């Protein structure tokens, strides 16, 4: 069905809720905004930070960049480790590799942090390519990291590749690159968001994902 399987990271393979929300909280405090409710910051999980700071707090370009820099102050030390690997991820990746699939990461998180997280959970060896954002912001959107992954994988036929993700940004990014998207409902977007975004397939757990992609 698909030879190349690209995975989003946050909300798809891991639960980064604590590290991301606490780092956003820290960044907002640096910008003079107090937000005691971490659950109110969960919308930052998935989309590029710069875009979300501008959208939600009406920051201009300079302010949004300052907020991202402040976020990374905390995330680079503590936040990337405040993370949980979803149950069943190693077994799922092992099964897909055994089925001959080529696996990659396509995350809006900077590559530096993606690689550290993959090593932390001892799953880096399953992926042929890790495509993340750049720290300078030149590559930041989901479409850009997906395109970068496809280039690194030398994918000729876009129909042979698919992105697995949990947010509408994953669906939209995949579509803009000419590939399908499988939405997972156990992340941070949920069924309705994935349906509205137009995910090609939607699964509820890794067992369904394996059944769909291992063939």
Of 37, 54, 81, the residue that ends a domain is 81
Q: Are residues 60 and 154 in the same domain?
A: no
Q: Are residues 37 and 74 in the same domain?
A: yes
Answer positive or negative: Cα dihedral of 187, 191, 192, 196. positive
Which residue is associated with the tokens 């930052």? 44
- Cβ neighbours around 192 below 10 Å, total: 9
Q: Are residues 11 and 23 in the same domain?
A: no
Domain range holding 92? 4-15+83-213
Q: What's the CA gap between 50 and 38, in Å, rounded?
A: 18
Q: What are the φ/ψ torsions at residue 81 (nearest 5 degrees)?
A: -90, -15
Q: Are residues 92 and 55 in the same domain?
A: no
Q: Are residues 203 and 145 in the same domain?
A: yes
129: CB partners within 8 A, 6+ apart: 104, 105, 149, 152, 153
- For residue 88, what pLDDT is reported? 97
Q: Are residues 11 and 30 in the same domain?
A: no
Q: Are residues 53 and 119 in the same domain?
A: no
Q: Are residues 121 and 75 in the same domain?
A: no
Which residues are marked as active site?
A: 8
Supply the angle between the helices 17-30 and 61-75 in degrees, to the nearest 10.
Answer: 130
- For residue 3, what pLDDT is reported? 98
Question: What's the average pLDDT block by block, 10 residues per block, for the chain (215 residues)?
Answer: 97 97 98 97 92 96 97 97 97 98 96 97 98 93 97 98 97 98 96 98 98 95
Q: What is the CATH number of the domain that holds 11?
A: 3.40.50.1000
Q: How many domains does the chain have?
A: 2
Q: Are residues 71 and 107 in the same domain?
A: no
Q: Are residues 71 and 92 in the same domain?
A: no
- For residue 50, what pLDDT is reported? 94
Q: Are residues 197 and 120 in the same domain?
A: yes
Which residue is associated with the tokens 């850009």? 144
Q: What is the CATH number of the domain that holds 26?
A: 1.10.150.240
- For residue 47, what pLDDT is reported? 86
Of 41, 58, 81, the residue that ends a domain is 81
Token pair of 130 as six digits: 């890790």
Of 30, 65, 81, the residue that ends a domain is 81
165: CB partners within 8 A, 6+ apart: 7, 8, 11, 12, 142, 171, 173, 174, 181, 182, 183, 184, 187
Q: Are residues 103 and 203 in the same domain?
A: yes
Which residue is associated with the tokens 């077994």? 91
């Amino acid at each position: 069905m698909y030879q190349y399987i690209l995975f989003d990271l946050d909300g798809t393979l891991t639960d980064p809720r604590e590290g991301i929300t606490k780092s956003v909280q820290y960044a907002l405090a640096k910008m003079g905004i107090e937000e005691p409710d971490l659950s109110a910051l969960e919308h930052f999980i998935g989309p590029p930070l710069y875009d979300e700071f501008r959208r939600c707090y009406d920051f201009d370009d300079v302010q949004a960049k300052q907020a991202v820099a402040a976020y990374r102050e905390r995330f680079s030390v503590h936040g990337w480790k405040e993370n949980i690997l979803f149950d069943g991820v190693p077994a799922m990746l092992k099964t897909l590799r055994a089925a001959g699939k080529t696996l990659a990461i396509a995350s809006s998180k900077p590559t530096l942090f993606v690689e550290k997280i993959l090593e932390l959970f001892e799953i880096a060896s399953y992926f042929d390519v890790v495509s993340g954002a750049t720290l300078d912001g030149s590559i930041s959107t989901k479409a850009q990291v997906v395109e970068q992954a496809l280039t690194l994988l030398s994918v000729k036929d876009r129909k042979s590749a698919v992105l697995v993700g949990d947010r509408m940004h994953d669906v939209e990014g995949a579509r803009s690159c000419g590939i399908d998207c499988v939405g997972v409902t156990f992340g941070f977007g949920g069924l309705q968001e994935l349906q509205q975004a137009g995910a090609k397939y939607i699964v509820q757990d890794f067992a369904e994902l394996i059944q769909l992609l291992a063939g």
